Amino acid sequence: MGYCLPYLRAAVELVQPELIVALGGAAAQGLLGAKFTKLADARSQWHDFAGHPVMVTYHPSYLLRSNSTKSKRAVWEDLLKVMERGELPISPKQRGYFL
């Protein structure tokens, strides 16, 4: 991770993304450093990486293993926040997924 971080910083500087979504603990630790001990402490809130907003959420492989509607809804709520921040339209049907 330490070896690749300079390349990631260069890519982010070049691309200038509106926002970044970190999927899983490895991505979150790489972007944010050791600011949290559990992913649950970092997810569902906005962070900063090189001046860009970062949303941390669970990795899709976690959802495949857990098979829980509650965890899928938690990730979906994180993605709804991303969509709102990116000013993307959200339908009532989308807001109701996994309820």
Tokens coding 51: 């001046």
Tokens coding 1: 């991770």
Q: Please give the distance of CA 29 from its chain centroid, rounded to a whole number.
A: 12
**Which overall architecture, per CATH, does domain 5-95 show?**
3-Layer(aba) Sandwich (3.40)
Mean pLDDT, residues 58-73 taken together = 92
Mean pLDDT, residues 14-26 taken together = 95
**How far is Cα 36 from Cα 19, in angstroms, rounded to an integer?**
20
Mean pLDDT, residues 33-62 taken together = 92
Mean pLDDT, residues 59-79 taken together = 93
Closest CA to 47 of 72, 14, 22: 22
Q: What integer pLDDT is reported at residue 67 of this predicted model?
A: 81
32: exposed, middle or buried (Cβ count in 10 Å: 0-12, 13-18, 19+): middle
Every domain of the chain and the residues it spans: 5-95
User: Can you give the pTM of this predicted structure?
Assistant: 0.89
